[in-house]
Amino acid sequence: MKKIKLRVNGVWRELIVDSETVLLDLLREDLRLTGAKQSCDRKGQCGACTVVVNGKAVRSCLTRVADLEGADIITIEGLGTPDNPHLIQEAFVLAGAIQCGFCTPGLIMATKALLDANPDPTMEEIKQALRRNLCRCTGYKKIIEAVQLAGRFIRGEVSPEEVRPGPDQGTMGVSHPRPSALAKACGTAYFTADYKIKGALELAVLHSTVPHARIVAVDSSQAQAMPGVAGVLTAADIKGTNILKFIVADRPVLCKDKVRYIGDPILAVAAETREQAEAALKHVKVKLEPLPVIDSPEASLAEYALRIHEDIPNLCYDQPQIKGDAEAALRQSAAVVEARFKTQINHQAPLEPEATLAYWEKGDTEGDDQLVIIGRSISIHHHLAMLQSALGWENMRYIEAFSGGQFGIKIDIISEGIAGAAAIHFKRPVRYIPSLAESMLMTSKRHPFDMRVKLAADQEGNLTAYCNDFLVDNGAYYSIGHVVIYRSLLMLSGSYNIPNVAARGRLLYTNNPWGSAARGAGPPQTNFALECAMDMLADKLGMDPFDFRLRNSLKPGQNKSTGRVVQEWPFPDLMEAMRPHYQRAVKEAAAFRSDKTKRGVGLGTGAFGIGNPGDASIAAAELDPDGGVSVYAAAADPGEGNDSMLTQLTAEFMRIPLDRVRLHTRDTGNTAASGPAAGSRITYMLGSALLRALEQLKAAMEETGARTSTELDAAGKPKRYVGRKKNEDAGPLDPKTGQGPSFESQVHAVQMVELEVDMETGKVKILKMTTAVDAGPVIHPQNLTGQLEGGMDMGVGFALREQYVAGTTKDWLTFKFPTIQDNFDMEIIIQETPRPKGPLGATGVGEMCLVPTAPAVINAIKNATGVWICELPATPEKIKAALAAGG
């Protein structure tokens, strides 16, 4: 122990500390300054914990407090507050650099240290200063712009007032600061792990280290007797079904007799502190009897393969799609290409690790106590119902905390079940804050696809037929399972008119990590195959891939692979908008000369469906006493900007100031089920439902002349109105032909990648990406471009680097998380064709931004080098091997 004195945010403090305590723990646990976050298990990889010590940016997870005698420490809370923010905090808000906001405090503190030393840094100096701060949402472009804007503020060249949009600029199409941005910039927005609950038990969970085994015996007697331990929770202690059923009842909260993948949770030790729980966990003995491991869809399909779930076949979904006669068309076509494409298991990689709190809210009588779960669900009502059934406890509520990104991972839940079960069993509040390694281990992943493809065209270059027979590795549990295949088939023909289609999607259980939603959920995989095949076929026909795509665009009146005729298809205009950029890029690449490096240009396109067949949403709007409007809708905003959308739509429609719109979106207690914040659906579906509620409210106000809730009340009218939106084109695809209903709306995109390949090392450097997108009238330009930039960055990671290997991928280094130094030039072209059924004409964009990216990258690599990489990710090793093999 050592007595030291240090200053935190201007206040001198005397402390007695041991030699091990790190600054992050002092700040978060002792001083309750939770603005500094932790993502990387204190390995120094994420920068979310960055604070300024003696003028320098330091990672507080690596800084021992004992070494800080006399130090001057500034945290995000010491920089400014929402009432009086620092110029850097204002700059991050106004530049649109804050999406989920988990990385934001660390980035702002790193910026503070940089600008104090150098108020006018170059791009390279910014990248150098922020090289240790990770962000998954933004693609870093707006972060760089925020640092530049902060520099301008500090140098007095411009003021926040001059940059901030004023009320006279209107609401639609204006980048008003997001409702939560300032709180995130000032470290006052609470993420799940930021809450501390007095008397809460902490959990340590045992996960399977093998992919398939029978649980033969569990001996926790030694652990039970260890200091601070309240007990050990097993499946036998869970009173409900113990099954977290999303669609199929197959995934246990805690495994009872079998483990089915590396990471399956077996039991939880509950103790007074996390250290005690972790120490005790080491003394639990579990005997596992290995079972044969099914490690691929082929193995799962084998005739005598062991069933992973006794009562469900390994082939758990099989859906064909037949339009026209593809076989006959292939025979008659002038050119046919054939290839096999594979995509990898990938982690969605939100920066915030999994975390859940469960506590009891006192009822009138003891039996009325309500179990409250705080987590980062994007579908709070559905997840609440899953928990009620799994845990056998009805009186429960779910509250969504601010969440550090999700990208599909939170369409399903894990830690909520374990924390909730422990809270019920021990009748205590519980905090379950898993490490990053543990979070990676237990969460769902992007499904790997194995696709055998044929694409054909006639002499003139008109597409004639497309076949795609694809196997999808679903891993150990179903989760959203067939939805991924269904979505892939609904969008199978992409942007094009393909008269004959023969496809089949099969979903197979294996002992790999379980698949679920991951930004795009299916179409990024199938579109990779289609868009690469488009380039292969253009090559074979001797056509330019740009002209070939444009020629084959679907047109209004023609139909998609589902047979549904489209009414609007603004894709050709997008291609025309891209044309001059493409011509410039091709010219520059042709003029580039180097023996060592080759330059290439690649295209990818996509038409992404929004508003599933039969999808429905609901929202309520209520007039407030001051004439403002409260919006009630269960609409998570893990970073996309849903809060902005709801606020600006309401303000625009009701002609009220933005600060009179009050959102209630995070609690099952005061909202109805509006559907998940997934599938890019919130703007289109929930925005439409909200407008219908507002229309009724406005009509009542106009009829009565009321301006406030009191006046409406006096006029005998309700102050609250409910709006609903439902896609009338409903029902499943035909099980034999895959023909049937489709999405109500589409967002269209064309992406172009310019890159260089080092012919010796196989390393790829992205020089620039250009995205042209049509998502209808833009509500918030910064949020739109922010989604596109983040999506491009994520799509490049999917194409070139990222892969999840169970047991090996344990942190952000092994995952190959993109840093600011991977950032590349990005340009965005926006086209705004109004959608007849969208809210004020708008539709969504959150996933489209990476649907064309991987094929655009792979097509550009082929353009540069002449070799095809048909299995993602296109690592330097694969490119080198392909070059050595001569393509």
Binding site for ligand FES (CB under 6 A): 38-40, 42, 44-49, 59, 61, 98-103, 135-138, 351, 405, 639
DSSP 8-state secondary structure symbol assigned to residue 96: T
Q: Helix or strand or coil: residue 594?
A: coil
Determine how many CB atoms are found less than 10 A away from the CB of residue 19: 10
From the list 455, 541, 537, the residue with the least C-alpha distance to 499 is 455
Q: How far apart are CA 383 and CA 823, in angstroms?
A: 36
Q: How far is the CB of 645 from ligand FES (least distance, A)?
A: 17
Q: How far is the CB of 317 from ligand FES (least distance, A)?
A: 33
235 phi and psi angles, rounded to 5 deg:
-55, -35
User: Taking a C-beta distance cutoff of 8 angstroms, is the pair 406, 638 a contact?
Assistant: yes
The residue among 599, 604, 606 whose CA lies nearest residue 861 is 599
Q: By C-beta, is 142 or 599 nearer to ligand FES?
A: 142
Is 275 or 361 the residue whose CB approaches ligand FES more closely?
Answer: 275
Among residues 98 and 530, whose Cβ is nearest to ligand FES? 98
Q: For residue 110, give Cα distances in angstroms to 25, 68, 328, 491, 817.
A: 19, 19, 62, 43, 19
Length, in residues, of the chain? 887
Q: Which is nearer to ligand FES, 137 or 465 (CB)?
A: 137
- Between helix 523-541 and helix 853-865 the angle, nearest 10°, is 30
Angle at CA of residue 769, ends 766 and 770, nearest 5°: 165
Q: Between 48 and 501, whose beta carbon lies closer to ligand FES? A: 48
Pairing outcome for strands 72-74 and 2-8: parallel
Quick check: 638 and 677 in contact, CB under 8 A? yes
Complex with ligand FES: residue 615 or 640, whichever CB lies closer: 640
- Minimum CB separation of residue 117 from ligand FES in Å reads 21
Respond yes or no: is residue 568 known to be catalytic: no
Give the nearer residue to ligand FES in terms of CB position, either 416 or 637: 637
Q: Please name which of 239, 270, 857, 880 lies closest in space to residue 527, comparing C-alpha atoms.
A: 857
Q: What is the distance between the alpha carbons of residues 653 and 840, in angstroms, rounded to a whole number?
A: 9
Instruction: With CA atoms as reference, report the closest residue to 744 among 674, 787, 685.
Output: 685
Radius of gyration of the chain (CA): 27
d(CA 306, CA 316): 14
Task: Tell me the three state secondary structure of residue 182.
Answer: helix
Choose the catalytic residue: 352, 640, 789, 847.
Answer: 847
Smallest distance from the beta carbon of 812 to ligand FES, in angstroms?
Answer: 8
C-beta of 502: minimal distance to ligand FES in Å? 41
Instruction: Specify whether the CB–CB gap between 415 and 432 falls below 8 A.
Output: yes
Residue 770 β-bridge partners = 752, 827
Give buried/exposed letters for 682-701 (b at 16+ CB in 10 A, else e).
bbbbbbbbbbbbbebbbebb
User: Cis bond leading into 873, ω under 30°?
Assistant: yes
For residue 267, list its beta bridge partners.
206
165 within 8 A of 823, measured Cβ to Cβ: no
First to last CA, the chain: 63
Instruction: Name 494's Cβ contacts closer than 8 Å, sequence gap at least 6.
Output: 527, 530, 531, 605, 606, 607
* 686 DSSP assignment: I
| Closer CB to ligand FES, 99 or 863, in the complex | 99
**Short-list 86, 231, 243, CA closest to 150:** 86
- 446 strand-pairing partners: 346, 516
Q: To which residue do tokens 């003696």 refer?
A: 54
Q: Please name the residue that has the structure tokens 């990489």.
A: 869
In three-state secondary structure terms, 438 is: helix
Q: Which residues contact 285 (CB under 8 A, 6 or more apart)?
A: 217, 218, 219, 220, 222
Half-sphere exposure of residue 575: CA atoms within 13 angstroms, side-chain side: 21
Positions marked active-site: 847
